Structure formats: structure tokens, C-alpha cells
């Protein structure tokens, strides 16, 4: 599996799946979440409301992931995941790892060949970009190696992108990736 690190706008990526750093309500917010909702159009909000009415009445738990169509995005699907919020006392790195792992599992179930991640929980949720990058790369590499030895034989994922909005975060991810 190829890993790419890009300084770009995730809403413009032509991949099968983009991952949304959502809040548990799934009803939009700021940062990446707000940008994805704006770019996808009102149908994304309606799909998220339907998830809340049916499968997720209490909201999406931290570390879990769920998919919706991408609607007006170039990506076919959006996988929503809720990262841990350090400011709210959610400091367990396993929750952060779970966001990446569960998103990869959902992407594999969808048959996605390419996926773009943001820096989940970095920024307003208070996680250090270096720690986010370390956890993300560990999970992606583990997922890739387990797929190659048969643990996830149905995963067609070929490309995982880390699409980062700021130059600073992009530099941190590149530094961690190269070390």
C-alpha cells in the first residue's frame, strides 16, 4: 500500500473515500468537518441525520467510523470518525488509533482502492500533530501488513493519502514518515 503526504484541500481529492474528522453528532462543525459538509452539499447533512434517526441515535462514539455517500464531493464516500478530544479528557492514544483502524476497515468493506485522511484530533481537539502522525502511520502500516498476510484479504486499498491543510502539519507528518 502506498502512503502519500500532501498539503492540500481534502474536499478536492479524487479518491474513493475521504475521512471526516467529525463530531459525535455527525451534523457538521468547524474545520475539516465543516469544509466537508459545505463541499458535499445539503444531502450529506440529511444522510447524517438519517444515521442519527436510525443506527446512531446517541451519536457516533469516539474511535468509531461510519460511511455515507460523498454527494457533491469528488470522493464517492465519506467515512466519518470521531477523534478523541484531549481538552475533554480523552487522552488515551488507543482511541486515536481506533479512528484510523476503523476508518480503514470501513473503506475495505466499501471496496475502496484509495482513501484520504486528515490529521484526526490535531488542532482544535488538542492532540500534537507528531503523535497523530505516529499513530496514523502505525495503524496504516499494520493494516497493510496484515492484509498482505491474509488477515484482511479482501482489502483492495492501494493508496492512503494524508491530506493536511497547514504547511506546518504537513511538515510534521513528512518528518515522522521519513524517520
33 annotated active-site: yes
Strand 2-7 versus strand 159-164 pairing type? parallel
Integer Cα distance of 108 and 89 in angstroms? 31
Question: Which residues does 153 contact at the CB level (< 8 Å), separation at least 6?
Answer: 147
Using only C-alpha atoms, the chain has a radius of gyration, in whole angstroms, of 15
Catalytic residue among 8, 16, 33, 154: 33
Strand 77-82 versus strand 159-164 pairing type? unpaired
Q: Which residues are catalytic?
A: 33
Amino acid at each position: 500500500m502506498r502512503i502519500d503526504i500532501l498539503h492540500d484541500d481534502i474536499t478536492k481529492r479524487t479518491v474513493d473515500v475521504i475521512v471526516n474528522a467529525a463530531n459525535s453528532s455527525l451534523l457538521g462543525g468547524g474545520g475539516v468537518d465543516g469544509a466537508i459538509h459545505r463541499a458535499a452539499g445539503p444531502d450529506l447533512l440529511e444522510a447524517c441525520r438519517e444515521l442519527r434517526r436510525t443506527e446512531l441515535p446517541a451519536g457516533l462514539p469516539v474511535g468509531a467510523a461510519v460511511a455515507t455517500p460523498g454527494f457533491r464531493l469528488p470522493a464517492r464516500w465519506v467515512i466519518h470518525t470521531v477523534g478523541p478530544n484531549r481538552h475533554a479528557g480523552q487522552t488515551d492514544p488507543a482511541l486515536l488509533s481506533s479512528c484510523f483502524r476503523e476508518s480503514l476497515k470501513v473503506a475495505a468493506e466499501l471496496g475502496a482502492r484509495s482513501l484520504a485522511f486528515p490529521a484526526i484530533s490535531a488542532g482544535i481537539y488538542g492532540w500534537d500533530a507528531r503523535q497523530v502522525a505516529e499513530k496514523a502511520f502505525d495503524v496504516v502500516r499494520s493494516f497493510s501488513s496484515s492484509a498482505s498476510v491474509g488477515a484482511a484479504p479482501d482489502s483492495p486499498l492501494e493508496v492512503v493519502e494524508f491530506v493536511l491543510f497547514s504547511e506546518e502539519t504537513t511538515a510534521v507528518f513528512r518528518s515522522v514518515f521519513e524517520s
